[in-house]
């Protein structure tokens, strides 16, 4: 077998054989297929697609490239959630302890942000002392002690995806449904969860810009999970406006703690509860009541124990950016648009995200919203507060929010705005 034959086959629109897929994934993981050859193959897959059987085999080969975890020793069912990524998407933070408080174990292997979307690990690292990297033994111990753990995936889990994802990121080959589905599902299946709920985002701030693409991605991932014995379901959720009132690491931790304390923005609470119900159903705990666990403080108790078990101080003050700049409402009317991608880009440019994997992020940087679409607003009132440690970034963030990103309509009817579930 050789890489050029495999690349040519996909370039010319043929389905790859099982043997070709197994060989190319294994050889790439071992370093026998070069990055430039894998980039060419990824581009051919992006342009020509893959059939269902090819995606299934590709996913299985990526799982087989590394170790598989096993939570059979736990005394409760495991439930996990994966979001395809968005702006202000802090839902994992309140959700994991909430579902644990309702009786499931939540092993949440999470990622870092890249580009305009935030990452759960970057957010939690805003908490003084909190550590993302745990050994497999320590991860299991935290899970057994507290019911939930949020940490980085170990190097041994789906190493083929680790290499391939980094390559796709710099070769314009992220937005391919077969590659996204196999990337996400190989990690989740190797992780060994009993059940999985997928939050597939759709809209300007998401990878999937149209409902049809989001539905196809959801169907593909649900099929892969089900075929591997993981009870998998998906919700399609809106990412045309940011979730909640914050985008940025410490800002989003603060908002998540507000949700755990029984408050927080309505859309964040609604999506957290909807995903919790899906996860509890999939885990065989349909009678659990997540709204009660939020209201009676039991989810907050799990949060505090989970943060402390990973070295974090749940009572510590969160970092605050050194400089703030307020953008005001341009005219009287109703806020009819606040583009998720523009807000994510602004937060990223303020220092909340990174341009390259090795860049540091600013814990306090980001964007705070003072109104949401549907709200009546008055000219001159604060609309957004931009936060950063490096004020020379303000101009680039303001530029991201120019043009059509913020829309105020004089004669529109105020409303609550659409909910987050599509
Ligand atoms: N998240 C992943 O883990 N992989 C992708 O390809 C896209 C989002």
Report ipTM (2 d.p.): 0.97
The more confidently predicted of residues 175 and 343 is: 343
Alpha carbon of 370 to ligand 1 centroid (Å):
31
**Chain centre to alpha carbon of residue 264:** 19
Cβ neighbours of residue 210 under 8 Å, at least 6 residues apart? Answer: 202
Q: What is the pLDDT of residue 417?
A: 61
Alpha carbon of 144 to ligand 1 centroid (Å):
28
Mutating to test ligand 1, I would choose from 83, 115, 184 the residue with most ligand atoms within 8 A of its C-beta, which is: 184
The mean per-residue pLDDT over the stretch 33-40 comes to: 97
Which CATH number belongs to the domain containing residue 37 in this structure?
1.20.970.10
Whether residue 330 sits in one domain with residue 300: no
Whether residue 331 sits in one domain with residue 269: no
**73 in a domain, yes or no?**
no
Q: Can you give the residue range of the structural domain that contains 345? A: 323-409
pLDDT(356) > 80? no
pLDDT band at 258 (very low <50, low <70, confident <90, very high): very high
pLDDT band at 309 (very low <50, low <70, confident <90, very high): very high
Active site residue 112: no
**160 in a domain, yes or no?**
yes
pLDDT tens per residue across span 154-165: 889 999 999 998
Active site residue 183: yes
**Phi, psi dihedral angles at 407 (to 5 degrees):** -125, 125
Whether residue 103 sits in one domain with residue 25: no
Whether residue 343 sits in one domain with residue 305: no
Domain count, the chain: 3
**62 in a domain, yes or no?**
no
Q: CB–CB of 105/143 below 8 Å?
A: yes
The mean per-residue pLDDT over the stretch 31-52 comes to: 97
Active site residue 116: no
Whether residue 327 sits in one domain with residue 300: no
Q: CB–CB of 162/156 below 8 Å?
A: no
pLDDT(169) > 90? no
- Work out whether the CA dihedral 206, 207, 213, 219 comes out positive or negative: negative
Q: What is the pLDDT of residue 357?
A: 67
Which amino acid residue places its CA nearest to atom 5 of ligand 1? 180
**70 in a domain, yes or no?**
no
The mean per-residue pLDDT over the stretch 74-89 comes to: 95
Active site residue 195: no
Q: CB–CB of 275/108 below 8 Å?
A: no
pLDDT(57) > 80? yes
Active-site annotation holder among 65, 83, 183, 195? 183
Whether residue 97 sits in one domain with residue 241: yes
Q: What is the pLDDT of residue 212?
A: 97
Whether residue 226 sits in one domain with residue 137: yes
Whether residue 111 sits in one domain with residue 43: no
Tokens of 243: 């979730």
| Average model confidence (pLDDT) across the chain | 95
SS3 66: coil
Rounded Cα distance, 52 and 202, in Å: 22
pLDDT tens per residue across span 206-233: 989 999 999 999 999 999 999 999 999 9
pLDDT tens per residue across span 363-421: 999 999 999 999 999 999 999 999 999 999 999 999 999 999 999 999 889 986 667 88
**68 in a domain, yes or no?**
no
Whether residue 124 sits in one domain with residue 235: yes
Whether residue 114 sits in one domain with residue 230: yes
Q: CB–CB of 206/243 below 8 Å?
A: no
Give the lowest-confidence range in 116-130, 250-264, 350-364: 350-364
What atom of ligand 1 comes closest to residue 85's alpha carbon?
A: 8
Whether residue 225 sits in one domain with residue 98: yes
pLDDT tens per residue across span 314-327: 999 999 999 999 99
Which CATH number belongs to the domain containing residue 277 in this structure?
3.40.1030.10
**316 in a domain, yes or no?**
no
Nearest to 246 by CA among 74, 69, 372, 415: 372
Which amino acid residue places its CA nearest to atom 6 of ligand 1? 180
Whether residue 162 sits in one domain with residue 32: no
Q: Where are the beta strands (DSSP E) in 153-223?
A: 195-202
Alpha carbon of 152 to ligand 1 centroid (Å):
14
Q: What is the pLDDT of residue 422?
A: 87
Q: What is the pLDDT of residue 296?
A: 97
pLDDT tens per residue across span 119-146: 999 999 999 999 999 999 999 999 999 9
Which CATH number belongs to the domain containing residue 367 in this structure?
3.90.1170.30
Alpha carbon of 278 to ligand 1 centroid (Å):
22
**Helices marked H in 228-311:** 249-260, 266-282, 290-295, 298-309
Q: 242 burial class (0-12, 13-18, 19+ CB within 10 angstroms)? A: buried
Nearest to 377 by CA among 368, 369, 365: 369
Which amino acid residue places its CA nearest to atom 2 of ligand 1? 184
The more confidently predicted of residues 169 and 204 is: 204
The pTM (predicted TM-score) of the whole model is 0.94
What atom of ligand 1 comes closest to residue 168's alpha carbon?
A: 6
Which residues, judged by CB distance below 6 Å to any ligand atom, belong to the binding site of ligand 1? 84-85, 165, 174, 179-180, 183-184
Rounded Cα distance, 411 and 343, in Å: 25
Q: What percent of the chain has pLDDT over 90?
A: 89
For residue 127, how many C-alpha atoms fall within 13 Å in the half-sphere facing its CB? 25
Active-site annotation holder among 76, 90, 187, 354? 187
**377 in a domain, yes or no?**
yes
Which amino acid residue places its CA nearest to atom 7 of ligand 1? 180
Active site residue 240: no
The mean per-residue pLDDT over the stretch 243-248 comes to: 98
What atom of ligand 1 comes closest to residue 111's alpha carbon?
A: 3
Nearest to 24 by CA among 41, 36, 11, 12: 41
Q: What is the pLDDT of residue 421?
A: 84
pLDDT(190) > 90? yes
Helix axes 52-64, 159-169, angle to 10 degrees: 120
Nearest to 391 by CA among 343, 323, 327: 323
Mutating to test ligand 1, I would choose from 58, 174, 199, 357 the residue with most ligand atoms within 8 A of its C-beta, which is: 174
Rounded Cα distance, 145 and 53, in Å: 40
pLDDT(109) > 90? yes
What atom of ligand 1 comes closest to residue 179's alpha carbon?
A: 6
Active-site annotation holder among 10, 82, 123, 188? 82
For residue 202, how many C-alpha atoms fall within 13 Å in the half-sphere facing its CB? 18
What atom of ligand 1 comes closest to residue 184's alpha carbon?
A: 3
**416 in a domain, yes or no?**
no
């Amino acid at each position: 077998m050789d890489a050029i034959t495999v690349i040519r086959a996909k370039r010319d629109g043929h389905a790859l054989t099982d043997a070709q897929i197994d060989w190319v994934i294994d050889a790439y993981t071992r370093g026998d297929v070069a990055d430039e050859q894998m980039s060419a193959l990824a581009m051919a897959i992006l342009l020509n697609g893959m059939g269902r059987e090819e995606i299934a085999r590709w996913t299985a080969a990526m799982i087989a490239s590394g170790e598989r975890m096993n939570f059979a020793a736990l005394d409760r069912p495991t439930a996990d959630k994966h979001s395809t990524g968005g702006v202000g998407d802090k839902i994992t933070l309140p959700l994991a302890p909430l579902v644990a408080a309702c009786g499931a174990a939540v092993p949440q292997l999470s990622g870092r942000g890249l580009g305009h979307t935030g990452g759960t690990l970057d957010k939690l690292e805003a908490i003084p002392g909190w550590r993302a990297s745990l050994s497999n033994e320590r991860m299991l111990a935290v899970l057994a002690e507290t019911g939930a753990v949020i940490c980085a995936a170990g190097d041994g889990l789906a190493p083929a995806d680790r290499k391939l994802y980094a390559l796709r990121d710099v070769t314009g080959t992220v937005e391919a449904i077969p590659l996204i589905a196999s990337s996400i599902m190989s990690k989740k299946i190797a992780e060994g969860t009993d059940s999985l709920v997928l939050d597939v985002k759709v809209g300007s701030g998401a990878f999937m810009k149209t409902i049809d693409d989001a539905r196809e991605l959801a169907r593909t991932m649900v099929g892969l999970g089900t075929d591997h014995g993981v009870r998998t379901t998906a919700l399609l959720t809106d990412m045309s406006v940011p979730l909640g009132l914050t985008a940025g690491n410490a800002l989003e931790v603060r908002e998540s703690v507000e949700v755990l304390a029984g408050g927080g923005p309505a859309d964040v609470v609604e999506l957290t509860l909807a995903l919790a119900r899906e996860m509890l159903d999939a885990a065989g705990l349909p009678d659990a009541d997540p709204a009660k666990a939020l209201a009676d403080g039991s989810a907050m108790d799990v949060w505090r124990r989970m943060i402390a078990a990973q070295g974090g101080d749940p009572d510590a003050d969160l970092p605050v950016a050194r400089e703030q700049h307020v953008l005001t409402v341009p005219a009287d009317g109703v806020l009819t648009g606040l583009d998720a991608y523009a807000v994510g880009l602004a937060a990223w440019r303020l220092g909340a995200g990174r341009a390259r994997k090795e860049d540091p992020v600013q814990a306090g940087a980001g964007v705070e919203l003072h109104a949401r679409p549907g709200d009546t607003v008055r000219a001159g009132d604060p609309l957004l507060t931009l936060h950063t440690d490096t004020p020379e970034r303000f101009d680039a963030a303001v530029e991201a929010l120019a043009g059509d990103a913020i829309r105020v309509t004089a004669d529109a009817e105020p409303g609550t705005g659409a909910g987050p579930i599509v």
